[in-house]
Amino acid sequence: MATALSVNLNKIALLRNSRTGNSPDPLAFAKICLANGADGITVHPRPDQRHIRPSDVFSLSQLLKQIDDIEFNIEGNPFAEDLGDYPGFISLVEQTQPDQCTLVPDDNNQLTSDHGFDLTSCGDSLAPIIAKLKSQGIRVSLFMDPDPEQIKLAHQVGADRIELYTGPYAWAFESQSAELESIFQSHCEAAQLALDLGLGVNAGHDLNLKNLPKYCKVPGLAEVSIGHALTIDSLTMGMDLAVSKYRNICQGQ
């Protein structure tokens, strides 16, 4: 089974934001990604607008709605409220109507997403948000650790998919840790449980050209979202070739 590749453009926007103007343009790089086989585009608009801005989300939404079979995935904290010209995460999602919304438990002070939801504490608050988005035809995925009990709760609160947080797997792979196989197995078991419950399985965080081939063996892996490593690779080989290499791995080539 092939795995879809969704390219996260946050780091393109981060580079753009280091100067005035709009170079590099996330919209232009989205087009490069799609021309070289990406199956979708992911953005994670945070309230501090450190990278992707609401204006980028609107522009990308308009572009991607014109292209068949390309998925737009917006990820972020469902409880992030409006701040300045940031309209609040859920409001932004409702205005732009992506194909998928990945809800992530990151706060404004986090450098990056680094853990999955604890649904024992926030499941009741998430359930109506999930139902509201699904009623608008938006697929909802929850950013999760490979914890069986939490994945069962993800099903109970109405999620369509989970996105497994792959940071610890990537770190274990990079350091050649003795724990790599047990971590990988925990992801395989979590994915199989999700599939058994009727949930789709996505994954993301620190996946790269070295660790992705192994991770693509996770059962039923529908989609990976990759941005940081792919952007780094594009500095040496170009975005077009980087996207092609990642997509070939996802396609089992």
pLDDT the model gives residue 106: 81
84: left (phi over 0), alpha (psi -120 to 50) or beta: left
Whether 44 is catalytic:
yes
Annotated catalytic residue, options 71, 75, 163, 223? 75
List the CATH number of the domain containing 9. 3.20.20.70
Banded model confidence at residue 134, pLDDT cuts 50, 70, 90: very high
Structural domain count, the chain: 1
Query: Hey, what amino acid is at 218?
Result: V
Cis bond before residue 98 (omega within 30° of 0) = no
Mean pLDDT of 43-59: 96
pLDDT band at 110 (very low <50, low <70, confident <90, very high): low
Average pLDDT score over residue span 79-105: 96
Q: Is 181 a catalytic residue?
A: no
Least confident residue range of 13-17, 37-41, 105-109:
105-109
pLDDT at 253: 83
Whether residue 190 is predicted with pLDDT greater than 70 in this model: the reply is yes
So what's the pLDDT on residue 7?
Answer: 98
Judge whether residue 1 has pLDDT over 90: no
Residue 173: partners with Cβ closer than 8 Å, 6 or more residues away: 180, 210, 211, 214
From the list 51, 155, 187, 205, the catalytic residue is 205
Q: Is the dihedral of CA 167, 169, 171, 173 positive or negative?
A: negative
pLDDT at 115: 81
Owning domain of residue 159: 4-250
Q: For residue 115, indicate whether it is catalytic.
A: no
Answer yes or no: is pLDDT of 13 > 90.
yes
pTM to 2 decimal places: 0.95
pLDDT in tens, 19-40: 999 999 999 999 999 999 999 9
User: Among the options 44, 51, 155, 187, which is catalytic?
Assistant: 44
DSSP of the chain: ---EEEEE-HHHHHHHTTSSS--S-HHHHHHHHHHTT--EEEE---TT-SS--HHHHHHHHHHHTTSTT-EEEEEE-TT---BTTB--HHHHHHHH--SEEEE----TT-SS------HHHHHHHHHHHHHHHHHTT-EEEEEE-S-HHHHHHHHHTT-SEEEEE-HHHHHHHHHT-TTHHHHHHHHHHHHHHHHHHT-EEEEESS--TTTHHHHTTSTTEEEEEE-HHHHHHHHHH-HHHHHHHHHHHHTT-
- What confidence category does residue 187 fall into, taking pLDDT thresholds of 50, 70 and 90? very high
